[in-house]
Structure 1
Amino acid sequence: MVGRKKRKPKTCDNGSHEDRISQLPDDLISHILTHLSTCDVVRTSLLSKRWINLWERVPDLDLDSHSFSSFDAFVSFTDMFFDKHKVSWIRKLRLSIRTHGVDDTSYLTPWIDAAITHNIQRLDVHFAYSFKDPVQIPLNLYTCATLVHLRLYGAFMVNAPEVVSLPCLKIMQLEYVKHLNETTLVKLISGSPVLEDLTVLKPATVLKVCSQTLKRVYINQPLQSGVVIDAPLLQFLMIKCCLTNNFKIINIGFTAKVDIDISLGTSYDLDRYGSSKKSMVCNFFASISRARCLAISYITVKVIKKIEPQLQFPYLSQLSASFSVFDLNVLPMILRSCPKLKSLILDLVDGEPKVVFSSVPPCLISSLKFVELKSPILGYEGEIELVRYFLKNSRVLDKLCLRFEKHNMKKAKYIILQELLAIPRCSSTCEVVFL
């Protein structure tokens, strides 16, 4: 408002500005401090007498050993935190341990013991470097009654005890965990009755994921070992692996979203192993045939091109696929397997595409309403032909989204744009959008 004077901050009798934050209750200040790094939280103790002990009530500890002057300073600081912590519970303990030449890990057990005593809810321990002796996780972690989120990176997981009880655990992330054997993983999953989210990266073991509560699973298994998944409530499955005969998806949710990046290993000798490879690939795709949303990598497309399995996705409504331009001829075959497809997102790699499509899959006639090309239009003839294919044959298409390369000259972009907009459209309601 014109003429309105700017309000000046209130001042105390001695002329200093009023400290309103210090007047807040301890619990509220502790909550505010959770948004700072742990080191900054401790530094607030220097502000005034009011703040000396407030850091001891903050329920989060997030430390990186690399940010300390020495590893001994890191250990001393963390010991002090647990010695002086006055809150009966700790919400989060996150430790990133990065050190060379220090192999003593005896500090870890009392820290995790103290966290469990303080009813830890989230534990995240990241070992960035290898140690001479494996960094073992304390056994009492397997029976932590309050843990909700567990992430271990680079740790050594000893054989699980007979009793594993994690009644509150909903999220479990095991990344590069050494000596994670099949029995230990089975016990961890079965001992987590409310587990919803599981991540397992690069284990050197057979994976058996059997759970009646899991909703999201991410597996990265590059080795040629087995994977078994039985999770009837699963909503999202992301898997990157080398397909083997020991790979089995027994049951996943009917509405699952599946993101796959599969290979056949280093050998593509299909003259010798063609029959078994094809059967294996066919069985895999049959096991995910009920998916509603599917994302496939260009490596997976190469597998499909090599094997030519009989694909059937009768319920699929959304497909996101990355294609090498040399494999684009597989696209009509994939589209024919999705009679109810509504949304298609394509990403092209490796240069200029070659488009010679003669058939029109049923989904283009009856269901496909949205198409997006994620890779930018560079002006290749094959790109124009691909756009033409969808515009001329998609009867119910509502929107086609395209992108331009940022470095395209305005004049060149205008010429390409005019050519694209001049293409006849089979659908009278189709809108071409340039992102």
Structure 2
Amino acid sequence: MVGRKKKPKIWVKVSHEEDKISQLPEHLISEILYHLSTKDAVRTSLLSTKWRYLWQSVPGLDLVSYKFSSFDAFVSFVESYFGFHRESWIRKLRLRFDYSQGMRDISSWIDAVSTRRIQHLDVNYRGYDKTPLSIYTCETLVHLRLCGADLPNAEFVSLPCLKIMHLEDIICSEGTTLEKLISGSPVLEDLTIIRSSYTYYDRKAIQVRSHTLKRIDINEGIHVVIDAPLLQCLRTDMYSIKNFRIITLGFPSKLDIDMQLMHLYLRPNESVIRDILTDISRVRDLVISRNTWKEIFLYSQSRPVLQFRNLSRLNVRFDIFDLEMLPTLLESCTKLESLVLELFKDQSMRRHEEKREMNVMFSAVPRCLVSSLKFVELKRSIPRYEGEIELIRYLLKNSRMLQKLSLNVYYKKKAKRDFLIELDAMPKCSSACEVLVL
């Protein structure tokens, strides 16, 4: 046809060279596959003939039983893997079971990896099977996580390389077994013990003695006496009774405490609150829940203003209906440098449904705003709080040392534009303050 231009020919040069990863030595490819889940590692067998069997040489297994067509298929796969690695190093074993599919004694699997230089063992039994004794004397184990396991009594424990121990919903007929696990781990740094209503321990407190422990995480139902001079962080959930006691001369620099209130009539007595206040007064870094601070707030209403002179960093969660407690908290933290304030709304509290949201009312400017507060992050997981703008305005207007204000808040497109305009017009007491909207 007249006037029609011919389309230019496009030449594509096809390279038949292999990709760069395939050119790597097999031991390096195996190391790359080690950091993938087993499912993704197996998928690479479809890339080429070179990759077909490379996944089998990976020294790690990470599987979930319910992702297989049947429990028998899952067991068969694991057995074949152990057959292939009959003499070779297995660094990682991570297994998740769903016993609604079937039952299987996996003691032989754990025995096998315990003698093959295993470093990371993570098993979720979901059936309270007995753990083999070989786990107590694994010389190469660095990270141990057991969930739903039945720990047999330990006559002897030697775990010379273990740094991280996470025990969740385990059955342990004797508390001394846990104590031997801890004392038999001479380089242990991180300890987590989580209990459910389906497990049991001795009623006596667990003696946690370690010269290397840096972090301890326990939940309600677990009582510990701690002798750990290097402890840096203690995280605990509790009900109306304090579930830890520190007998070391020093005290961790960070405390993360959450008080669970089972019932309005099962509240902690004054001696428990006094003990918690003593602990808070000794730390520099505090993470505290709304319930815990509310109990402290009620306790302190008829007493002089609390003073947490050592506290430098504070992370606190507030229900928007409890923000009236914020001024008291800030007045108590005279040297506070960093504040993370997370706002939420407790939907389960029906008594709040008709209660009007409250703004924060400061009778005076807390000392920390004038002399020390440098970093503030405001987060919320709820729609815009009615008094949010006034709270932000107050912080910017009165914080003389503030260097950064981060606002992790969500607004719809038009509302966000209006919010940014209003935010930009707010007066700032600190000329060096940077405001970030995340």
TM-score (norm 1): 0.82
CA deviation string 1:246-293 (max 9, x = no partner): 5323349666232221235425467xx7xxx12211212312433222
Amino acid at match of 2:183: S
Aligned equivalents of 1:111, 1:377: Cα separation in 2:
47
Residue in 2 that maps onto 1:247 = 244
Distance 1:384 1:45 in 2: 56
Task: State the partner residue of 2:351.
Answer: none
In structure 1, the partner of 2:316 is 321
Q: Quote the Cα distance in structure 1 between the aligned partners of 2:21 and 2:424.
A: 59
Alignment of 1:188-207 (within 5 A): 188-202=181-195, 204-205=200-201, 206-207=205-206
Partner in structure 1 of residue 374 of structure 2: 369
Q: Would you say 1:236 and 2:233 are equivalent positions?
A: yes
Normalising by structure 2, we get a TM-score of 0.82
Identify which of 110, 113, 124 aligns with 1:112. Answer: 110
Match of residue 74 from structure 1: 74
SS state of the match for residue 339, structure 2?
strand
Match of 1:303 in 2: 295
Residues of 2 paired with 1:378 and 1:101: CA distance?
Answer: 42
Letter in 1 for 2:373: L
Change in 2 beyond 3 A, CA 1:25/1:299? same
The Cα shift of 1:336 comes to 2.6
Alignment of 1:51-90 (within 5 A): 54-85=54-85, 88-90=88-90
Shift of 1:66: 1.4
Amino acid at match of 1:26: E
Length, aligned pairs only:
409
Worse-matched range after superposition: 345-354 or 89-98: 345-354
Amino acid at match of 2:195: K
**Distance 1:136-1:378 versus aligned 2 partners, 3 A rule:** closer
Moved more, 252-261 or 81-90: 252-261
Structure 1, 333-342 or 177-186: larger mean CA deviation: 177-186
Report SS of the residue matched to 2:151: coil
2:133 pairs with 1:139: yes
Q: Aligned pair in 2 of structure 1 residues 329, 70: CA closer, same or farther (>3 Å)? A: same
Deviations 1:59-106 (CA, angstroms, capped at 9, x unpaired): 111122212222122222212221221553210011111131634x33
Instruction: Report % sequence identity.
Output: 54
- Provide the C-alpha distance between the structure 2 equivalents of 1:371 and 1:419, rounded to a whole number of angstroms: 19
Partner of residue 8, structure 2: none
Residue among 153, 166, 169 paired with 2:159? 166
Structure 2 counterpart of 1:426: 429
Post-superposition offset of 1:415: 4.9
* 1:236-275 mapped onto 2 (5 Å cutoff): 236-251=233-248, 256-268=253-265
Amino acid at match of 1:162: E
Question: Do the aligned partners of residues 70 and 427 (structure 1) sit closer, same or farther apart at CA in structure 2, a change above 3 Å counting?
Answer: closer
Contact 1:169-1:194 within 8 A present in 2 as well: yes
Bigger drift between 291-300 and 247-256 goes to 247-256
**Whole-Å separation in 2 of the counterparts to 1:39 and 1:392:** 54
Distance change >3 Å, CA 253–CA 314, structure 1 → 2: same
1:249–1:284 Cα contact (<8 Å) kept: no
Among 279, 285, 308, the alignment partner of 2:277 is 285
Residue in 2 that maps onto 1:387: 392
Q: Deviations over 1:151-202 (max 9, x none)?
A: 111111122x221111110111111112364212111110100011111112
Superposition map of 1:38-49 within 5 A: 38=38, 41=41
8 Å CA contact retained: 2:379, 2:409: no
Looking at structure 2, the residues matched to 419 and 391 of structure 1 have their Cα atoms a distance apart, in angstroms, of 13
Could you say what the CA RMSD is over the residues aligned between the two structures, in angstroms?
3.2
Distance 2:188 2:406 in 1: 39
User: CA offsets, 1:34-82, max 9 Å, x none?
Assistant: 2444356557678887667644432111122212222122222212221
Q: Residues 245, 23 of structure 1: CA spacing in aligned structure 2 closer, same or farther, 3 A cutoff?
A: closer
Q: 1:80 to 1:419 in 2, by over 3 A?
A: closer
